[in-house]
Amino acid sequence: MSTDVPSLEQTLAKISTLANASLQETFSLPPEAYTSEPLHELERKKLFQKEWLCAGRTNSLKKAGDYFCFELDSQPVFVIRQKNNQFAAFANVCRHRMMTLLEGKGRCKRIVCPYHAWTYGADGNLVAAPHMDVRPNFDKSELSLHPIRMEIWHGWIYLTLSSEVESVASLLSDLAPLVDLYEMEHYVQIIEEDHVWNTNWKQLTENFMEGYHLPVAHKATVGGFFPVEATQFSESEPSPGFTYQFFEKTEDAPVGTAHADNTSLTGKQRVTSILPTIFPSHMYMLAPDHLWYLSLQPKGPDKVRIRYGAALAPEVLAASDDPEKLIAETTKFLATVNEEDRVVVEGIQRGANAPLSSGGPLCWLERENHEFTQFLARKLCD
């Protein structure tokens, strides 16, 4: 067996071959797809500096001045709720000497740079710059924060560094009718956290896209509630912007079905959960009573920052005798499920770094993984 590291061209040729094979004949990505520095650089350039990335949900920013930070590849950004309750996104970098302005999340009336106190409004305009008035022709109006292209879709906040990428509404137009009636934009945010895991971002995307591991890796938590044979896939042509699977629960399932007070969902939708993956890196499970999601920010071939969140349908919280207890229990349960995923996606990354590893044949339950390979081939291999 050769231990030569494949070149970027060889890796791309393998991805292309796998994308062109049928699901019955294809394999998972080769190990170098998860470890290669040159491929990581190409993904940064062609995916994470170009595509729409999800920074979070509008429901996390409830009042004027509420903000959270995010990164589009190496560009720090923040999203902030305006006085008129609209949302805006800006480069999180001071126009004086490039200090990052905000950290994490919070609420503010003004954005004050921690270096020399240049001060910006929530609309991004520079409103104060101490000791600068003696400089001739100093014009604050020329020094607003750089706006970031943003689009809100069903309560999700998508950002991009590209001025050219097609709108989210257009990319996800075929997804809209499948999720409209859930009214997920009204689901009440209960968790939003960032974590860093030691794995390649694609391991996590692929892990989300297949339910094959649920009865095994999650046998202590959700595994027993997911008969994997019940997994269903779309019968229409794959969309270039997303893929999804869905499944139905039995009406007596403890979670994942519509609350009696939910009047918008009817028939099978009351027991149906849908799991879209918005390429490249936004995934969520939308159930009639709750929502949880991941948005990924690669930090090298072996490291990924995960924005992870969850929300509950408003009628579920309204009907609860003890909403705080419900939130605490849900948070704890989902943290356990997440930990089960961390163990496997870090484990397969160690496997990808091992010299005797190779990709293996895919199962029918890994159909979306094949669609993801095809997405990668379209974006990276031309």
Strands 149-153 and 282-286: what pairing?
unpaired
Whose CA is closest to 72, among 91, 59, 95? 91
**Window contacting ligand FES (CB under 6 A); options: 30-38, 92-100, 219-227, 347-355:** 92-100
Q: Locate tokens 């159930």: which residue?
A: 287
Question: Tokens standing for 21?
Answer: 């094979």
**If contact means CB under 5 to 8 A according to the sort of partner, which of ligand FES, Fe ion, none does residue 341 touch?**
Fe ion
Q: Which of 48, 52, 118, 242 contacts ligand FES by CB under 6 A?
A: 118
Q: Which of 32, 151, 315, 341 contacts Fe ion by CB under 5 A?
A: 341
Shortest Å distance, C-beta 285 to Fe ion: 10
3-state class (DSSP) for residue 268: helix
Q: Residue 97 interacts with ligand FES (CB under 6 A)?
A: yes
Question: Tokens standing for 224?
Answer: 């027993």
**If contact means CB under 5 to 8 A according to the sort of partner, which of Fe ion, ligand FES, none does residue 105 touch?**
none
The answer to whether residues 104 and 68 touch, using CB atoms and an 8 Å cutoff, is: yes
Cβ-Cβ contacts under 8 Å for 1 (sequence gap 6 or more): 355, 356
Enumerate the H helices of the chain as residue ranges. Answer: 8-20, 37-43, 168-171, 176-179, 201-209, 214-217, 314-319, 323-352, 367-380
Nearest residue (CB) to Fe ion, 43 versus 341: 341
Q: Residue 115 interacts with ligand FES (CB under 6 A)?
A: yes
Phi first, then psi: what are they for 161, rounded to 5°?
A: -90, -5
Shortest Å distance, C-beta 305 to ligand FES: 25
How many Å is the maximal CA-CA distance in the chain? 73
Shortest Å distance, C-beta 61 to ligand FES: 24
**If contact means CB under 5 to 8 A according to the sort of partner, which of ligand FES, Fe ion, none does residue 29 touch?**
none
Nearest residue (CB) to ligand FES, 116 versus 379: 116
How many whole angstroms from its chain centre is CA 139?
Answer: 39
Question: Tokens standing for 251?
Answer: 């009406």
Applying CB under 6 A, the site for ligand FES has a residue count of 9
Which residues within the stretch 232-261 sit at the binding site for ligand FES (CB under 6 A)? none
Given CA atoms 190, 195, 201, 206 in this order, what sign does their dihedral have?
negative
Q: Which of 96, 186, 303, 342 contacts ligand FES by CB under 6 A?
A: 96
**Window contacting Fe ion (CB under 5 A); options: 142-150, 319-327, 336-344, 373-381:** 336-344
- Residue 47 buriedness (CB in 10 A; 0-12 / 13-18 / 19+): buried
Q: Residue 138 interacts with ligand FES (CB under 6 A)?
A: no
Alpha carbons within 13 A on the beta-carbon side of 217 = 20
Nearest residue (CB) to ligand FES, 139 versus 324: 139
**Window contacting ligand FES (CB under 6 A); options: 113-121, 165-173, 205-213, 341-349:** 113-121
Shortest Å distance, C-beta 100 to ligand FES: 9
Q: Residue 91 interacts with ligand FES (CB under 6 A)?
A: no
Q: Residue 364 interacts with ligand FES (CB under 6 A)?
A: no
Whose CA is closest to 288, among 302, 298, 273? 273
Whose CA is closest to 78, among 94, 64, 91, 59? 91
Which residues within the stretch 183-242 sit at the binding site for Fe ion (CB under 5 A)? none
Which residues within the stretch 271-330 sit at the binding site for ligand FES (CB under 6 A)? none
The answer to whether residues 332 and 227 touch, using CB atoms and an 8 Å cutoff, is: no
Q: Which of 44, 105, 116, 149 contacts ligand FES by CB under 6 A?
A: 116
**If contact means CB under 5 to 8 A according to the sort of partner, which of ligand FES, Fe ion, none does residue 115 touch?**
ligand FES
Q: Which of 113, 148, 168, 313 contacts ligand FES by CB under 6 A?
A: 113
Site for Fe ion, rule CB under 5 A: 341
